[in-house]
Amino acid sequence: TGEDISFSHVSDFAPFYDIDAHWETDGDDLIDGVRKNHERLGRRVFNTHLRWEMLPKRAEAGAAVDGVEDDRTQRPECGKFIHVTRNLIDVVASFYHHLSNQKEGQYTDDFETFAREFMAGTLPFGSPLDHLVSFARGFSNSETRDYRDQSLLLINYERMTTNLRGEVLRIMRFLDLSITDEVLEKDLLPSFRFDSMKCNSDRFQPKSVTWLNGYKFLRKGKVGDGRALMEENIGSDSRLIFEFDEWIQRSKYCDEIERLLGLNQEDSEDNSTAVFLSLVRHD
Protein backbone atom coordinates (compact mmCIF):
# COMPACT_ATOMS: atom_id res chain seq x y z
CA THR A 1 0.00 0.00 0.00
CA GLY A 2 3.00 2.30 0.40
CA GLU A 3 1.91 3.15 3.94
CA ASP A 4 4.45 2.92 6.76
CA ILE A 5 2.76 0.24 8.87
CA SER A 6 4.00 -0.35 12.40
CA PHE A 7 2.50 -2.74 14.92
CA SER A 8 2.57 -3.37 18.65
CA HIS A 9 1.82 -7.08 18.24
CA VAL A 10 1.88 -9.39 15.21
CA SER A 11 -1.70 -10.50 15.90
CA ASP A 12 -2.87 -6.94 15.14
CA PHE A 13 -2.36 -7.79 11.48
CA ALA A 14 -2.08 -11.61 11.43
CA PRO A 15 -4.51 -12.99 14.04
CA PHE A 16 -5.25 -16.64 14.63
CA TYR A 17 -7.99 -17.60 12.19
CA ASP A 18 -9.52 -20.08 14.65
CA ILE A 19 -9.74 -17.89 17.78
CA ASP A 20 -13.23 -16.57 18.49
CA ALA A 21 -12.00 -13.29 19.98
CA HIS A 22 -10.93 -12.10 16.53
CA TRP A 23 -14.46 -12.41 15.13
CA GLU A 24 -17.73 -10.63 15.84
CA THR A 25 -20.04 -12.76 17.97
CA ASP A 26 -23.13 -12.05 15.86
CA GLY A 27 -21.81 -12.78 12.36
CA ASP A 28 -18.92 -13.73 10.11
CA ASP A 29 -17.09 -10.38 10.26
CA LEU A 30 -13.73 -9.71 11.85
CA ILE A 31 -13.63 -7.37 14.84
CA ASP A 32 -13.08 -3.72 13.90
CA GLY A 33 -9.42 -3.53 14.96
CA VAL A 34 -8.33 -6.46 12.81
CA ARG A 35 -10.54 -5.47 9.88
CA LYS A 36 -9.16 -1.91 9.80
CA ASN A 37 -5.58 -3.18 9.96
CA HIS A 38 -6.25 -5.53 7.06
CA GLU A 39 -7.62 -2.59 5.09
CA ARG A 40 -4.42 -0.66 5.81
CA LEU A 41 -2.34 -3.67 4.75
CA GLY A 42 -4.32 -4.19 1.56
CA ARG A 43 -4.91 -7.89 2.20
CA ARG A 44 -6.21 -10.23 4.89
CA VAL A 45 -3.60 -12.30 6.78
CA PHE A 46 -4.17 -15.10 9.29
CA ASN A 47 -2.15 -17.80 10.99
CA THR A 48 -3.50 -21.13 12.19
CA HIS A 49 -2.67 -24.63 13.45
CA LEU A 50 -5.66 -26.19 11.66
CA ARG A 51 -5.15 -29.15 9.36
CA TRP A 52 -5.55 -28.74 5.60
CA GLU A 53 -9.00 -30.30 5.36
CA MET A 54 -10.27 -27.96 8.11
CA LEU A 55 -9.32 -24.76 6.27
CA PRO A 56 -11.73 -22.79 4.04
CA LYS A 57 -11.02 -23.11 0.32
CA ARG A 58 -14.21 -22.12 -1.49
CA ALA A 59 -14.56 -18.70 -3.06
CA GLU A 60 -18.13 -18.69 -1.74
CA ALA A 61 -19.77 -20.67 1.03
CA GLY A 62 -21.26 -23.92 -0.26
CA ALA A 63 -19.46 -23.84 -3.61
CA ALA A 64 -17.27 -26.67 -4.84
CA VAL A 65 -13.66 -25.97 -5.76
CA ASP A 66 -12.76 -27.07 -9.30
CA GLY A 67 -15.38 -29.80 -9.03
CA VAL A 68 -13.53 -31.45 -6.13
CA GLU A 69 -15.75 -32.46 -3.22
CA ASP A 70 -13.07 -33.96 -0.96
CA ASP A 71 -11.83 -31.34 1.55
CA ARG A 72 -8.60 -33.31 1.94
CA THR A 73 -7.31 -32.56 -1.58
CA GLN A 74 -9.13 -29.38 -2.66
CA ARG A 75 -7.18 -26.60 -4.30
CA PRO A 76 -8.10 -23.27 -2.64
CA GLU A 77 -9.84 -20.46 -4.49
CA CYS A 78 -10.38 -18.07 -1.58
CA GLY A 79 -6.77 -17.07 -0.95
CA LYS A 80 -3.14 -18.14 -0.76
CA PHE A 81 -1.73 -20.54 1.82
CA ILE A 82 1.84 -20.79 3.14
CA HIS A 83 2.57 -24.01 5.05
CA VAL A 84 5.58 -23.58 7.36
CA THR A 85 7.22 -26.82 8.51
CA ARG A 86 9.97 -27.75 10.99
CA ASN A 87 11.84 -30.93 11.85
CA LEU A 88 9.66 -32.97 14.22
CA ILE A 89 12.36 -33.64 16.81
CA ASP A 90 12.80 -29.88 17.22
CA VAL A 91 9.02 -29.48 17.25
CA VAL A 92 8.63 -31.89 20.17
CA ALA A 93 11.21 -29.93 22.20
CA SER A 94 9.61 -26.59 21.39
CA PHE A 95 6.10 -27.88 22.13
CA TYR A 96 7.26 -29.34 25.46
CA HIS A 97 8.63 -25.98 26.63
CA HIS A 98 5.47 -24.27 25.33
CA LEU A 99 2.96 -26.46 27.21
CA SER A 100 5.14 -26.70 30.33
CA ASN A 101 5.20 -22.93 30.71
CA GLN A 102 1.59 -21.95 30.10
CA LYS A 103 -1.04 -21.69 32.83
CA GLU A 104 -3.99 -23.06 30.86
CA GLY A 105 -3.59 -26.82 30.45
CA GLN A 106 -0.03 -26.76 31.80
CA TYR A 107 1.95 -29.93 31.14
CA THR A 108 3.56 -31.08 34.41
CA ASP A 109 5.31 -34.35 33.54
CA ASP A 110 8.90 -34.73 32.28
CA PHE A 111 10.19 -34.45 28.72
CA GLU A 112 10.60 -38.19 28.26
CA THR A 113 6.91 -38.78 29.01
CA PHE A 114 5.95 -35.82 26.83
CA ALA A 115 7.91 -37.17 23.86
CA ARG A 116 6.16 -40.53 24.09
CA GLU A 117 2.74 -38.86 24.31
CA PHE A 118 3.72 -36.71 21.30
CA MET A 119 4.44 -39.86 19.30
CA ALA A 120 1.23 -41.50 20.54
CA GLY A 121 -0.80 -38.51 19.34
CA THR A 122 -2.43 -37.96 22.75
CA LEU A 123 -1.29 -34.34 23.23
CA PRO A 124 -3.30 -31.28 22.08
CA PHE A 125 -3.68 -31.13 18.27
CA GLY A 126 -3.24 -34.91 17.97
CA SER A 127 -0.67 -36.73 15.85
CA PRO A 128 1.90 -34.48 14.14
CA LEU A 129 2.22 -37.05 11.36
CA ASP A 130 -1.50 -36.84 10.63
CA HIS A 131 -1.13 -33.07 10.42
CA LEU A 132 1.75 -33.29 7.93
CA VAL A 133 0.01 -35.90 5.79
CA SER A 134 -3.11 -33.71 5.66
CA PHE A 135 -1.07 -30.92 4.03
CA ALA A 136 0.78 -33.37 1.78
CA ARG A 137 -2.64 -34.32 0.39
CA GLY A 138 -3.23 -30.66 -0.41
CA PHE A 139 0.05 -30.48 -2.31
CA SER A 140 -0.67 -33.78 -4.06
CA ASN A 141 -3.63 -32.45 -6.03
CA SER A 142 -1.42 -30.76 -8.60
CA GLU A 143 -0.61 -31.95 -12.09
CA THR A 144 3.03 -30.88 -11.76
CA ARG A 145 3.44 -31.96 -8.10
CA ASP A 146 5.40 -28.71 -7.82
CA TYR A 147 4.92 -26.60 -4.73
CA ARG A 148 5.60 -23.41 -6.66
CA ASP A 149 1.85 -23.16 -6.86
CA GLN A 150 -0.22 -20.03 -7.23
CA SER A 151 -2.33 -20.92 -4.19
CA LEU A 152 -0.11 -23.10 -1.96
CA LEU A 153 3.53 -22.67 -0.90
CA LEU A 154 5.72 -24.94 1.24
CA ILE A 155 8.32 -23.28 3.50
CA ASN A 156 10.83 -25.04 5.75
CA TYR A 157 12.26 -23.55 8.96
CA GLU A 158 15.65 -25.22 8.55
CA ARG A 159 16.07 -23.66 5.12
CA MET A 160 15.13 -20.26 6.49
CA THR A 161 17.96 -20.53 9.02
CA THR A 162 20.52 -21.21 6.29
CA ASN A 163 19.09 -19.13 3.41
CA LEU A 164 16.68 -16.56 4.79
CA ARG A 165 17.00 -14.26 1.79
CA GLY A 166 16.23 -17.03 -0.68
CA GLU A 167 13.13 -18.14 1.22
CA VAL A 168 11.87 -14.56 1.57
CA LEU A 169 12.30 -14.09 -2.19
CA ARG A 170 10.19 -17.20 -2.77
CA ILE A 171 7.46 -15.78 -0.52
CA MET A 172 7.64 -12.45 -2.37
CA ARG A 173 7.20 -14.17 -5.73
CA PHE A 174 4.36 -16.27 -4.37
CA LEU A 175 2.50 -13.21 -3.05
CA ASP A 176 3.47 -11.05 -6.04
CA LEU A 177 5.17 -8.44 -3.84
CA SER A 178 7.30 -5.68 -5.33
CA ILE A 179 10.00 -4.75 -2.82
CA THR A 180 13.28 -3.03 -3.65
CA ASP A 181 16.59 -4.70 -2.83
CA GLU A 182 17.42 -1.78 -0.53
CA VAL A 183 14.28 -2.22 1.57
CA LEU A 184 14.74 -6.00 1.59
CA GLU A 185 18.37 -5.86 2.74
CA LYS A 186 18.25 -2.91 5.12
CA ASP A 187 14.77 -3.14 6.63
CA LEU A 188 13.14 -6.52 6.17
CA LEU A 189 15.79 -9.24 6.42
CA PRO A 190 17.38 -7.89 9.63
CA SER A 191 13.94 -7.74 11.29
CA PHE A 192 13.15 -11.33 10.24
CA ARG A 193 16.18 -12.82 12.00
CA PHE A 194 15.61 -14.68 15.25
CA ASP A 195 17.84 -12.42 17.36
CA SER A 196 15.97 -9.33 16.19
CA MET A 197 12.58 -10.91 16.89
CA LYS A 198 13.76 -12.00 20.34
CA CYS A 199 14.87 -8.45 21.13
CA ASN A 200 11.31 -7.39 20.24
CA SER A 201 9.66 -10.40 21.87
CA ASP A 202 6.69 -8.40 23.17
CA ARG A 203 5.53 -8.14 19.56
CA PHE A 204 5.52 -11.93 19.13
CA GLN A 205 4.72 -13.39 22.57
CA PRO A 206 1.34 -15.16 22.09
CA LYS A 207 -1.58 -13.55 23.93
CA SER A 208 -3.92 -16.54 23.76
CA VAL A 209 -2.44 -18.15 26.93
CA THR A 210 -1.04 -16.99 30.26
CA TRP A 211 2.71 -17.60 30.53
CA LEU A 212 4.38 -18.76 33.76
CA ASN A 213 7.66 -17.68 35.37
CA GLY A 214 8.38 -14.98 32.82
CA TYR A 215 8.65 -17.56 30.02
CA LYS A 216 9.76 -16.20 26.64
CA PHE A 217 8.06 -17.80 23.66
CA LEU A 218 11.05 -16.97 21.43
CA ARG A 219 13.41 -19.28 23.30
CA LYS A 220 16.36 -20.47 21.16
CA GLY A 221 15.34 -20.92 17.54
CA LYS A 222 18.14 -23.45 17.11
CA VAL A 223 18.18 -26.36 14.68
CA GLY A 224 18.99 -29.60 16.53
CA ASP A 225 17.78 -28.53 19.98
CA GLY A 226 15.33 -31.44 20.10
CA ARG A 227 17.99 -34.06 19.48
CA ALA A 228 20.15 -32.51 22.22
CA LEU A 229 17.23 -32.71 24.64
CA MET A 230 16.58 -36.34 23.73
CA GLU A 231 20.25 -37.21 24.16
CA GLU A 232 20.19 -35.71 27.66
CA ASN A 233 17.83 -38.53 28.59
CA ILE A 234 19.96 -41.34 27.15
CA GLY A 235 22.00 -41.55 30.35
CA SER A 236 18.84 -42.55 32.19
CA ASP A 237 18.36 -45.56 29.88
CA SER A 238 16.04 -43.60 27.63
CA ARG A 239 15.61 -44.89 24.10
CA LEU A 240 13.80 -41.80 22.83
CA ILE A 241 15.75 -41.35 19.59
CA PHE A 242 15.42 -45.05 18.76
CA GLU A 243 11.73 -44.98 19.67
CA PHE A 244 11.29 -41.97 17.39
CA ASP A 245 12.81 -43.86 14.44
CA GLU A 246 10.68 -46.93 15.21
CA TRP A 247 7.58 -44.72 15.40
CA ILE A 248 8.27 -43.24 11.95
CA GLN A 249 8.82 -46.73 10.50
CA ARG A 250 5.63 -48.13 12.04
CA SER A 251 3.57 -45.20 10.81
CA LYS A 252 4.75 -45.72 7.21
CA TYR A 253 4.83 -41.92 6.98
CA CYS A 254 7.61 -41.90 4.36
CA ASP A 255 5.72 -44.39 2.18
CA GLU A 256 2.57 -42.26 2.39
CA ILE A 257 4.45 -39.08 1.45
CA GLU A 258 6.02 -40.75 -1.58
CA ARG A 259 2.63 -42.20 -2.57
CA LEU A 260 1.05 -38.74 -2.43
CA LEU A 261 3.88 -36.63 -3.85
CA GLY A 262 6.03 -39.01 -5.87
CA LEU A 263 9.51 -40.41 -5.29
CA ASN A 264 12.20 -38.10 -3.95
CA GLN A 265 14.28 -37.23 -7.01
CA GLU A 266 16.43 -34.39 -5.65
CA ASP A 267 16.72 -32.14 -2.61
CA SER A 268 15.70 -28.82 -4.15
CA GLU A 269 13.39 -25.99 -3.14
CA ASP A 270 10.87 -27.24 -5.70
CA ASN A 271 10.66 -30.79 -4.35
CA SER A 272 7.86 -31.10 -1.81
CA THR A 273 8.67 -34.79 -1.25
CA ALA A 274 12.18 -33.89 -0.07
CA VAL A 275 10.84 -31.31 2.37
CA PHE A 276 8.20 -33.56 3.90
CA LEU A 277 10.69 -36.44 4.27
CA SER A 278 13.33 -34.20 5.86
CA LEU A 279 10.96 -33.40 8.71
CA VAL A 280 11.40 -36.85 10.29
CA ARG A 281 15.19 -37.14 9.92
CA HIS A 282 17.67 -36.22 12.62
CA ASP A 283 21.08 -37.14 11.12
Question: Which of residues 267 and 28 earns the better pLDDT score?
Answer: 28
> How far from the centroid of its chain's Cα atoms is residue 239's Cα?
28
The pLDDT of 226-242, averaged and rounded, is 75
> pLDDT by residue (tens digit) across 97-108?
999 999 999 999
The pLDDT of 68-83, averaged and rounded, is 72
> pLDDT by residue (tens digit) across 147-187?
445 788 999 999 999 999 999 999 999 998 999 999 999 99
In the predicted structure, residue 66 carries a pLDDT above the cut 80: no
d(CA 49, CA 55): 10
Q: Report the pLDDT value the prediction gives residue 267, as an integer from 0 to 100.
A: 53
Q: What angle do the packed helices 128-140 and 253-261 form, to 10 degrees?
A: 10
Number of residues that make up the chain: 283
In the chain, the percentage of residues whose pLDDT exceeds 70 is 84
Nearest Cα residue to 154 out of 262, 269, 33: 269
Helix/strand/coil percent split, the chain, to 5: 45, 5, 45
The pLDDT of 115-128, averaged and rounded, is 94
The pTM score is: 0.87
Q: Report the pLDDT value the prediction gives residue 264, as an integer from 0 to 100.
A: 59
In the predicted structure, residue 1 carries a pLDDT above the cut 50: no
Q: Report the pLDDT value the prediction gives residue 146, as an integer from 0 to 100.
A: 46
Q: Report the pLDDT value the prediction gives residue 228, as an integer from 0 to 100.
A: 86
d(CA 30, CA 22): 6
Mark out the alpha helices in the chain (DSSP H runs): 32-41, 88-100, 111-120, 128-140, 157-162, 164-175, 181-183, 189-192, 194-199, 225-232, 240-251, 253-261, 272-278
Q: What's the whole-number average pLDDT of the chain?
A: 86
In the predicted structure, residue 91 carries a pLDDT above the cut 90: yes
CA 268 to each of CA 22, 145, 146: distance values in angstroms, whole numbers, following the listed order: 38, 13, 11
